[in-house]
Amino acid sequence: SQELEQSPQSLIVQEGKNLTINCTSSKTLYGLYWYKQKYGEGLIFLMMLQKGGEEKSHEKITAKLDEKKQQSSLHITASQPSHAGIYLCGADIGSNFGNEKLTFGTGTRLTIIP
């Protein structure tokens, strides 16, 4: 079984609508990373969360890590075509601060329709 579960696997959203992607683990997440990937390209770093209850925002994207550090959510407000792509959560499950080793979820494919 996957150590990191992402949901949903795919999402089709009308432009301007809000959406949420979830990332869940049965283990404690010592560092939770969100990346975006477009087809044919590498991973673009979005945000990193470490502390339970932490929340970070960048432009219209907000990421949260729950108090137990086993679940994270990525929320996009007023979605735009530029938000389309694959969103991946990656986590360090081994408390290797300073020497991280990431395990990834399978990704969420986001499509924005006009």
Partner 1 sequence: EAGVAQSPRYKIIEKRQSVAFWCNPISGHATLYWYQQILGQGPKLLIQFQNNGVVDDSQLPKDRFSAERLKGVDSTLKIQPAKLEDSAVYLCASSLWTGGDTGNTIYFGEGSWLTVV
Which residues lie near partner 1 (CB under 8 A)? 4, 30-31, 33, 35, 40-45, 48, 50, 88, 90, 92, 97-107
C-beta of residue 110 within 8 angstroms of C-beta of residue 14:
no
Would you tell me how many other CB atoms lie within 10 Å of the CB of residue 27? 13
CB 74, min distance to partner 1, A: 15
Cis peptide before 8 (omega within 30 of 0): yes
3-state class of 82 per DSSP?
A: helix
Nearer to partner 1, 16 or 52 (CB): 52
CB 101, min distance to partner 1, A: 6
Nearer to partner 1, 76 or 89 (CB): 89
